[in-house]
């Protein structure tokens, strides 16, 4: 399935791609995703990106914990 990644900004795209890579049955923290997106310490920004996730069925933001 093709995802229109250009609909979101660069940081949000990196966070959403990192979220999409979380395996079934696993979780990740906001800080982990921020670090994977290249901005350690931006956990709140990662959370904001996930709050605006335009593809909640495809990008499993329910696997991210505080």
Report the pLDDT value the prediction gives residue 1, as an integer from 0 to 100: 67
Chain segment 32-51, per-residue pLDDT in tens? 999 999 999 999 999 999 99
Report the pLDDT value the prediction gives residue 51, as an integer from 0 to 100: 95
Report the pLDDT value the prediction gives residue 2, as an integer from 0 to 100: 82
Chain segment 2-30, per-residue pLDDT in tens? 888 888 999 999 999 999 999 999 999 99
Q: Which of 61, 62, 63, 66 is catalytic?
A: 61
Distance CA 28, CA 64 (A): 5
Q: In the annotation, is 61 catalytic?
A: yes
Whether the per-residue pLDDT at 61 is higher than 80: the answer is: yes
Distance CA 26, CA 38 (A): 21
Q: How far is CA 47 from CA 1, 5, 28, 51, 64, in A?
A: 25, 18, 12, 6, 9
């Amino acid at each position: 399935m093709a995802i229109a990644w250009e609909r979101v900004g660069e940081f949000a795209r990196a966070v959403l791609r990192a979220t999409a890579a979380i395996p079934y049955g696993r979780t990740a923290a906001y800080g982990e995703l921020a670090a994977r997106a290249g901005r350690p310490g931006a956990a709140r920004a990662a959370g904001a990106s996930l709050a605006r996730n335009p593809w909640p069925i495809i990008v499993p933001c329910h696997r991210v914990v505080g």
